[in-house]
Amino acid sequence: MAIPLPASRPGNDTVHANGTAAPHPFDPSAPPPFRISEIRAAIPPHCWVKNPWRSLLYVLRDFVIISALVAAAAYFDSWLVWPIYWIAQGTMFWAIFVLGHDCGHGSFSNSTALNSFMGLILHSAILVPYHGWRISHRTHHQNHGNVEKDESWVPLTKKTYKQLERRTRILRFSLPFPIFAYPFYLMWRSPGKEGSHFNPYSDIFAPNERKDIVISTSCWTIMAVLLVYLSFVFGPTQIFKLYGVPYWVFVIWLDVVTYLHHHGYEQKLPWYRGEEWTYLRGGLTTVDRDYGLINNIHHDIGTHVIHHLFPQIPHYHLVEATKAAKGVLGKYYREPKKSGPIPLHLVKNLVNSFRQDHYVSDEGNVVFYQTDPYLYSY
């Protein structure tokens, strides 16, 4: 029998009857024994270098593939080909989003003008308001793991959860509905938060950012109008097949990937409030994922821990930077489960998380997701 030592915090050793000590299971909410500067020092200097030509080559690669897929689908125009096209093209739309994501973090290049120009092109092409997203995503990175201030997939408090209509709760936590959420999030944000990524006067943005929002909303509108025009030229059915269905496949990718980077790990991970939250502790609750063949296609965004801590690192250095940082991170780095060619193993993580991770306590500075046992009962 193990006799606990007189200490209140998880993570202390226990003493067995024979006098030997046995380590307590690792506590992911314990303050790490290292500083962010130590992680930074472990990463090779060249990993911080941004090469705009290399970034532009990735853009060229992706647009060549997208164009080839459109040409092939339009040429064959067969229902044997369309489902393959939709999955492939939707995945490429997601890859384009990740490159625009680099622009938003300034890891595409050292030029703010080039980052904004390319970000507007890349994200407007897939109906994302670039600057609106860039600013709210910056808030997410600056406050990740903070129950009160995080922006993306932020947990509901129990009080907010209970205030939702039953139908809303079920839709929010029943697949497949949550993996189609992104366009609605852009328009109205998450429950408990107000504002729109399209409105320059939204609370998300500072007054000096309103001009950027007008620009990105205008670019989004131009793309939407272009799609309507093309629907008149080629027919709405053809544009729906060429663009509409891949767009929703892209939305699924975005929602699934961003959710799994912050939820669904085998062990419950903490969320913080008040003085317990720090940038480092919040970043260490992110999760790396292996997407098999998709890793290279979507620019290794599965290497998410180092990306969250150091978003200035270009995507093509994330794998190397992660390997270099593991020695410092120790148990705070959770090695992703290896994937087959298609990351089907992640379906279980996704399903289990939506069944179990419903809300967090209204009180406490270190909290974990709790489950509503009556959510699906009638």
Residue 30 included in any domain: no
Residue 16 included in any domain: no
Q: How many domains does the chain have?
A: 1
Residue 352 included in any domain: yes
pLDDT exceeds cutoff 90 at 24? no
User: For residue 303, what are the contacts with CB-CB under 8 A and spacing of at least 6?
Assistant: 288, 318, 319, 321, 322
Residue-level pLDDT at 195: 87
Confidence at 5, pLDDT banded by 50, 70, 90 = very low
> pLDDT tens, 65-98?
999 999 999 999 999 999 999 999 999 999 999 9
Sole residue written with tokens 């069944």: 355
> pLDDT tens, 327-360?
999 999 999 999 999 999 999 999 999 999 999 9
Residue 378 included in any domain: no
Residue-level pLDDT at 8: 33
Beta bridge partners of 15: 3, 21
Residue 11 included in any domain: no
Which has more pLDDT, 166 or 367? 367
Residue-level pLDDT at 378: 54
The model carries a pTM of 0.90
pLDDT exceeds cutoff 60 at 18? no
Residue 138 included in any domain: yes
> pLDDT tens, 259-306?
999 998 988 899 999 999 999 999 999 999 999 999 999 999 999 999
CB 351 within 8 A of CB 178: no
Structural domain for 157, as ranges: 44-367
Residue 91 included in any domain: yes
Q: Give one DSSP letter per residue of 42-63, joined into a string.
A: HS-GGGG---HHHHHHHHHHHH
